[in-house]
């Protein structure tokens, strides 16, 4: 599973790979890999998330199917209708965002904390020096 989660952040995405990854993740469980947090969320139609913001974390919403609305910052609310079309939506650090499901949704959020990524890289460098 860890290898598959790395692929979702680092390469071109195939919807079938996304479905395979989702099936290996328990909902609302945080997986921390290389300074990134991965969380699978399942929402029912009408569920809302936010408004929310993360001072230090960038966030990526990875979703392939469903209908939802998203507002980032002070921008206008945008509606997405997806059918087997893998999309990654970037939310910059510090930007308030609001998310509303218009259908049932099963998606992954990837959070990147700059300080956590730096600590992870430092740990790898120090570990190599010990070998």
Reduced to 3 states (helix: H, G, I; strand: E, B; else coil), residue 119 is helix
- The token pair that represents 57 in the structure block: 């974390």
Radius of gyration of the chain (CA): 16
User: Which backbone phi and psi does 130 adopt, to 5 degrees?
Assistant: -75, -25
Q: Is the pTM of this model over 0.75?
A: no
For domain 2-130, the question of CATH label 2.60.120.10 is answered with: yes
Tokens for 120? 């992870």
User: Is 127 exposed, middle or buried (CB count within 10 Å of its CB: 0-12, 13-18, 19+)?
Assistant: exposed
Q: Are 30 and 110 in contact (CB under 8 A)?
A: no
What whole-number percentage of the chain has pLDDT above 90? 17
For residue 127 the two structure tokens come to 């570990």
Does residue 24 contact residue 18 with C-beta atoms inside 8 Å?
Answer: no
Report pLDDT digits (tens) over 5-50. 555 555 555 566 667 777 778 888 887 776 678 888 999 999 998 8
Q: For residues 82 and 70, which has the higher predicted lDDT (pLDDT)?
A: 70
Position 121 confidence tier, pLDDT thresholds 50, 70, 90:
low
The residues facing 113 across adjacent strands are: 57
């Amino acid at each position: 599973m860890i290898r598959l989660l790395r692929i979702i952040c680092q390469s071109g995405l195939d919807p079938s790979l996304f479905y395979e990854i989702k099936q290996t993740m328990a909902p609302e469980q945080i997986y921390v890999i290389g300074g990134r947090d991965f969380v699978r969320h399942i929402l029912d139609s009408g569920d809302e998330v936010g408004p929310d913001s993360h001072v230090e974390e960038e966030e990526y919403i990875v979703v392939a199917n469903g209908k939802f609305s998203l507002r980032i910052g002070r921008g206008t609310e945008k509606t997405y209708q997806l059918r087997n079309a893998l999309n990654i939506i970037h939310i910059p650090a510090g930007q308030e965002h609001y998310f509303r499901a218009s259908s049932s949704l099963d998606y992954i959020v990837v959070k990147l904390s700059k300080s956590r990524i730096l600590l992870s890289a430092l740990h790898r460098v120090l570990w190599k020096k010990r070998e």
